[in-house]
Amino acid sequence: MNKTKNLIWFLSVIVLCALAFVLYTTYNKQKTNEQNAPVFSDEFTTPNAIFSDGLTNPDSVTKYQLDEFDVGVSEKNIYYADINHDNKPDRITRTFTETGNAHSYYEYKIELNQDGKYIDITPENFRTISGADCDLQLIQFVFRPQFRIILISRDMGETWIDATVAKKQVFQISENKLKQTETKILRKVCDVKNLF
């Protein structure tokens, strides 16, 4: 009888030791994986993140010759779409300007078709601010379910690549004007394209 009790006690101790060993190795493995996991921070950006301004299939494309320093307007695209739902084709113009360095930019012009004339409703400084490492301001057009324009921007830090807090602005058409309808403070980033 004592031999049976001793055997049961001995087997119980072995099972408990085995269970403790399994738990210990599992815990250590998980802790090691957490220590080796990549650290994500608002300071870093995703290289070559894909961004679209939402404008596709232009109705007309005009290319221009740059000057001897590769500076000037290089391309102008025009898009026609009824953005205020009055069954008339309104016009969006996207102009790409080369600066001879990494800070080229897109400029946008939004015009409503009113009585056969195009009326400019573009807010001031409606353009991108881009660099080789980070974009400081980008604009995206959304056509469905309702037309709106999203602008995300941030101020420059001490250098171009210093992350700063970004701001999101949303514009919609109201009373045939493009009005800001939303402002939201976002997180700190270098490249604002990571916030779209």
Report the candidate in 97, 94, 109 with the shortest Cα–Cα distance to residue 55. Answer: 94
pLDDT in tens, 96-116: 999 999 889 999 999 999 988
Q: What is residue 36's predicted lDDT score, i.e. its pLDDT?
A: 36
Domain assignment present for residue 29? The answer is no
Segment 37-55, tens digit of pLDDT: 333 333 333 444 589 999 9
Range of the domain at 77: 60-195
CB 103 within 8 A of CB 131: yes
Amino acid making up residue 78? I
188 domain-assigned: yes
Question: Whole-angstrom Cα distance, residue 156 to residue 2?
Answer: 81
| DSSP-derived secondary structure letter, 127 | B
Residue, of 153 and 11, whose pLDDT is higher: 153
Residue 131 pLDDT:
87
Is the pLDDT reported for residue 129 higher than 80? yes
Asked if the model's pLDDT at residue 122 lies above 90, the reply is yes
Q: Which two tokens stand for residue 38?
A: 């990549």
Are 159 and 167 within 8 A, CB to CB? no
- Cα gap 138→72, rounded to integer Å: 20
Higher-confidence residue of 16 and 137: namely 137
Q: What is the mean pLDDT of the chain?
A: 85
Q: How many domains does the chain have?
A: 1
Looking at per-residue pLDDT, the higher value among 9 and 29 belongs to 9
Domain-located, residue 39: no
The answer as to whether 108 is a domain residue is yes
pLDDT digits (tens, 9 = 90+) for 152-173: 999 999 999 999 999 999 999 9
In this structure, of 60-64, 130-134, 170-174, the range with the lowest mean pLDDT score is: 130-134
Q: Could you give the percent of the chain with pLDDT greater than 70? A: 75
CA distances from 156 to 45, 107, 129, 189, 192 (A): 15, 19, 10, 11, 12
In a domain, 146, yes or no: yes
DSSP secondary structure letters along 142-192 = E-SSS-EEEEEEE---SSTTS-EEEEEEEEEEETTEEEEEEEEEEEEES-G
Give percent above pLDDT 90 in the chain. 69
Q: How far apart are CA 92 and CA 120, in angstroms?
A: 10
Q: Is 82 among the domain residues?
A: yes
